[in-house]
Amino acid sequence: MSNRVKKFDILFVEDEEAIRKNYVKYLKRYFANVYEAEDGQKAYEIYKEKKPHILIVDLNIPKQNGLELLAKIRERDHSVKAIMLTAHTEQKYLLEATSLKLTKYLVKPVNRTSLKNALDLAISELASFDVASKEVLILKESFFWDFTTQELLQEDEPTLLTNKERKTLSLLFTNTNKILTYEDIIMEVWYENEYDKIDALKTIIKNLRKKLPRDTIQNVFGVGYKVES
Q: Going residue by residue through the chain (229 aa), what tens digit of pLDDT does each one get?
A: 554 455 688 999 999 899 899 999 999 888 878 999 999 999 999 998 888 889 999 988 999 998 899 988 887 777 889 999 988 666 666 666 666 888 888 888 888 888 889 988 888 777 665 444 446 788 888 888 888 788 998 877 899 999 999 999 999 998 888 899 998 898 888 865 555 788 899 999 999 999 999 999 999 998 999 998 6
Residues of each domain in the chain carrying CATH 3.40.50.2300: 3-128
Domain 3-128 class, CATH top level: alpha beta
Residues of each domain in the chain carrying CATH 1.10.10.10: 136-226
| pLDDT one-digit tens code per residue, 154-208 | 877 899 999 999 999 999 998 888 899 998 898 888 865 555 788 899 999 999 9
Nearest to 74 by CA among 56, 108, 100: 100
Cis, peptide link before residue 109, omega less than 30° from 0: yes
Question: Which pTM was predicted?
Answer: 0.58
pLDDT at 94: 67
Query: What's the number of CA atoms in the CB half-sphere (13 Å) around residue 210?
Result: 8
Paired with 86 in beta bridges are: 107
Fold classified for 136-226 = Arc Repressor Mutant, subunit A (1.10.10)
